[in-house]
Amino acid sequence: MVFALKSAIRQAGRTDLFAVAGVGVEISTTYRTALVPDFVVLNTRPLANSFQASEVVLAGEIWSPGNSGRERKDKFAAYEQAGVPFFWSIAQDLGGPTELAAYRLEDGRYVCEATAEAGQGRFGIAACPVAVELDITALRP
């Protein structure tokens, strides 16, 4: 996913955006003092391991079958309340990603702008700081 985002950022000529994985975001939830999304797009150069919510333009979570509905709901709400402009939720099974839902923050609430399933082929996502075209099946090992 990070590779696809980096490629889209480069193609858009955006030198002010950085796609990375495995960094902390200083957003608290009921059970955590920070979140570690699976991938993010930052509006600052990634010179640290932890970032403020205001530095995150897109947060993405890849849910395994073991993630509880409560955890998904809590993280979704935390990113929304922190004002992260874009959020991607990716469901997966043992073979990899199966479904993607892309959200844009509007009036303090996430609105789903795009969904796609494995096998659908290439599709465009505008709920992102730069337009991205993906094929979920290509992300499966």
Distance CA 137, CA 141 (A): 9
Domain ranges of the chain: 2-139
Confidence band, pLDDT 50/70/90 cuts, at residue 138: confident
Nearest alpha-carbon partner for 5 in 40, 32, 35: 40
CA atoms within 13 A on the CB side of 44: 13
CA distance 118 to 122: 10
Q: 83-128 pLDDT, tens per residue?
A: 999 999 999 988 888 899 999 999 999 999 999 988 888 889 999 9
The architecture CATH gives domain 2-139: Alpha-Beta Complex (3.90)
Whether 90 contacts 97, CB under 8 Å: yes
The C-alpha atoms of residue 46 and residue 68 are separated, in whole angstroms, by: 30
Residue pair 137/119 in contact by the 8 Å Cβ criterion: yes
Reported as a pLDDT band with limits 50, 70 and 90, residue 32 is low
pLDDT for 105:
97
Closest-CA residue to 49 (of 61, 58, 40): 40
Beta carbons of 97 and 127 less than 8 angstroms apart: no
What pTM was estimated for this model as a whole? 0.92
Q: Exposed e or buried b for every residue in 13-23, given b needs 16+ CB within 10 A?
A: eeeebbbbeeb
- Report yes or no: 95 and 81 within 8 Å, Cβ to Cβ: no
